Structure 1
Amino acid sequence: MSLTYAVVTPARNERANLGRLAESLTAQMLLPAHWVIVDDGSDDGTDDLGAKFAAEHDWIVVCMPEPATDGQLTEGRREGRDLLAFRRGAAALPTAVDVLVKVDADTSFDPDYFATLMRRFAEQPDLGIAGGCCYELEDGEWVRQKVAGTHPRGASRAYRWACYEEALKLEPKMGWDGLDEVQASLMGYRTAIFNDFGFRHHRPTGGRERDRLRASAVLGSASWYMGYRPSYLLLRALYGTRRDPVALAMVWGYASAALRRTPRCPEAGAVRHLREQQRLRVLLTRGANP
């Protein structure tokens, strides 16, 4: 018996992408029990398109914005706005599911993607957060993005329900989708990327940011909030310069947040565990996702 799953998609002005994602989901060999589209204050017709899909399929649900809390995505993204939208979508699920998947609107999947992913969750009871590998378009070719083998990409992350419930405890701050992996580990679950299947990400990471330098600095600030070791942050930034020199702005963002004494994650146990995983000896034994 297959595990049941639901998809939640936070969406702000995603009309151009939503149709492609809808085609991918409706073509799945194993359909989701529900697909919840969380409109985040769109003004391009995203909500109308979502409503059209919901009228065609009874397993599609549209969540409209909450005026009291919804604001600009450019600010909200840095405050973990996608976590708030993710939670709102999960709260709107008509029925319970075994696995909850956060899927960005700018993604697409082969028809067997979710059937394969659910099979992995069923076969591996200790799997808490997982996803296939991420491909992005580079010079006309789909190229697999290399990241740590324990860090499923934020564009498509699947949570066993117990791990999602732990994510509910996190503050809605940028960096939450790293701390949730720590929480899962503390619960005894593994997190993983599977390299034998994947999904396509049609907008490069940080693609909403008009200023790449600022985007990198924001990542540095998020790393401060998460409690990164300074040595690990520096190594990560230097490694990132192999592809983009502006990755060094992460160091500036981290140092700036430190000088301002910006508040850090209050989950002390999660921060301690994260910093332990960032020790050099641990990194050398854990490896990356080659």
Structure 2
Amino acid sequence: MQNLANSFVLLTAAKNEAKYIGVTIESVLRQSVLPKAWHIMDDGSTDETADIVRRFARQHNFLHLHTIASRNGGERNFGAQYRAINKAYSLVKAEAFEFVCMLDADIELKSNYYFRSIIDEFERDADLGLAGGYIYERSGDIWKCRPANSPTSVAGGVQMFRRVCFDEIDGYQALMYGGEDWLAQVHAQHAGWKVRSLLHLPVHHYRPTSSAGGRLKGIFRMGMRDASFGSHPAFELVKCARRAREAPVLINPLVRLSGYFWYGLKHKSPVVPSDVVQTLRKEQIQRVFEWTKRPFNRFISSDKALVGRDESLR
């Protein structure tokens, strides 16, 4: 039997998450293996987020609340989120542990063996550097597998790193339009580490992706993020065409394309290294060729496997 005590730390950045953070904490407390420490960084919440965390922290000594000053009032900022995560990691860096896990404050772990299962996966594969569960989001009264899920891409809200991998890539790089989780994943893969998302470990994501501050605003930002990573124009056009059936029909892909081209008007170049952009674009063009070989009616379908591979390339 493995000795999993004190094997990992948990890090969370929270801002105005009073509606969901209690559910997140309770799902962690149900786990068969608990973290050595859980540091929750309250980034200037104006609701009851800190009070809720504080109540749980009084009962569980591994849970720690830290309040940091926010420069953005009540507005969420993805760069600020990952700066908070990096600050949390600096608090535990001197301690001994093998894995570091990021958990968003609006995530519910559905399996009580979630952490145990991921650590077992790491134990089975010494080359595995990053792993996590599959995101499910609510559609009406039904929880559905998020189309962007992919076996080779781990969502930022549930990323667990082998510590040596996380240290090797120097953690997260805060970016203006998001994508810190994807960039960390790319750096891990470039360093020779495997990345794996585990279908048998569902997690419920209570706030739909990019819905903070308004759905359309989030989709526009996603287009800007794609451009900031150097996503190929042809790939972006094809990807948005494949999403043409998403409700509201045509609106979402057009808004995303607008964000993509708006970035090009405002900025001169991507924010990631040129060699990463070249690798990304080469893979994207290969994907476009694969898609164009399919009949047009399947080309714009919402096939989950292809959508997942699409998102893994941003």
Q: Same fold (TM over 0.5)?
A: yes
**Secondary structure of 1:92 counterpart:** helix
Q: Which residue pairs with 1:151 in the alignment?
A: 153
Q: Which residue pairs with 1:90 in the alignment?
A: 89
Cα pair 1:179 1:270 within 8 Å, conserved: no
Cα pair 1:73 1:81 within 8 Å, conserved: no
Cα pair 1:2 1:122 within 8 Å, conserved: no
4+ runs deviating over 4 angstroms? 281-290
Report deviation, 1:142. 1.4
Is 1:199 the counterpart of 2:199? The answer is no
Q: Which residue pairs with 2:135 in the alignment?
A: 134
Q: Kindly provide the amino acid, as one letter, of the partner of residue 190 in structure 1.
A: K
In structure 2, how many angstroms separate the alpha carbons of the residues matched to 1:263 and 1:85?
26
**Match of residue 160, structure 1, among 159, 162, 166:** 162
Q: Which residue pairs with 1:117 in the alignment?
A: 118
Cα pair 2:80 2:174 within 8 Å, conserved: no
Cα pair 1:100 1:161 within 8 Å, conserved: yes
Is 1:253 the counterpart of 2:259? The answer is yes
Cα pair 2:135 2:203 within 8 Å, conserved: yes
**Match of residue 286, structure 2, among 264, 272, 280:** 280
**Secondary structure of 2:105 counterpart:** coil
Cα pair 1:132 1:198 within 8 Å, conserved: yes
**Match of residue 221, structure 2, among 207, 218, 222:** 218
Report deviation, 1:282. 8.9
In structure 2, how many angstroms separate the alpha carbons of the residues matched to 1:262 and 1:192?
34
Superposed counterparts of 1:8-23, under 5 Å? 8-23=11-26
Q: Kindly provide the amino acid, as one letter, of the partner of residue 260 in structure 2.
A: Y
Partner deviation per Cα, 1:46-98 (whole Å, 9 max, x = no partner): 12222222221111111211x3x642463622xx2221111111112272322
Q: Which residue pairs with 2:191 in the alignment?
A: 187
In structure 1, how many angstroms separate the alpha carbons of the residues matched to 2:258 and 2:288?
26
Is 1:233 the counterpart of 2:236? The answer is yes
Give unpaired runs (5+ residues) of structure 2: 292-304, 310-314
Q: Aligned pair in 2 of structure 1 residues 288, 243: CA closer, same or farther (>3 Å)? A: closer
Q: Aligned pair in 2 of structure 1 residues 59, 265: CA closer, same or farther (>3 Å)? A: same
In structure 2, how many angstroms separate the alpha carbons of the residues matched to 1:243 and 1:281?
21
Q: CA-atom RMSD, angstroms?
A: 2.4
Q: Which residue pairs with 1:51 in the alignment?
A: 54
Q: Which residue pairs with 1:176 in the alignment?
A: 180
In structure 1, how many angstroms separate the alpha carbons of the residues matched to 2:224 and 2:287?
25
Q: Kindly provide the amino acid, as one letter, of the partner of residue 8 in structure 1.
A: L
In structure 2, how many angstroms separate the alpha carbons of the residues matched to 1:240 and 1:11?
30
In structure 2, how many angstroms separate the alpha carbons of the residues matched to 1:259 and 1:75?
24
Aligned residues: 285
Is 1:268 the counterpart of 2:274? The answer is yes
**Match of residue 32, structure 2, among 20, 29, 34:** 29
Partner deviation per Cα, 1:79-130 (whole Å, 9 max, x = no partner): x222111111111227232221111111111211111111111112222222
Q: Which residue pairs with 2:300 in the alignment?
A: none
Indicate the structure (1 or 2) with the bigger Cα radius of gyration: 2
Report deviation, 1:283. 8.2
In structure 2, how many angstroms separate the alpha carbons of the residues matched to 1:154 and 1:239?
24
Give unpaired runs (5+ residues) of structure 1: none
Cα pair 2:36 2:62 within 8 Å, conserved: yes
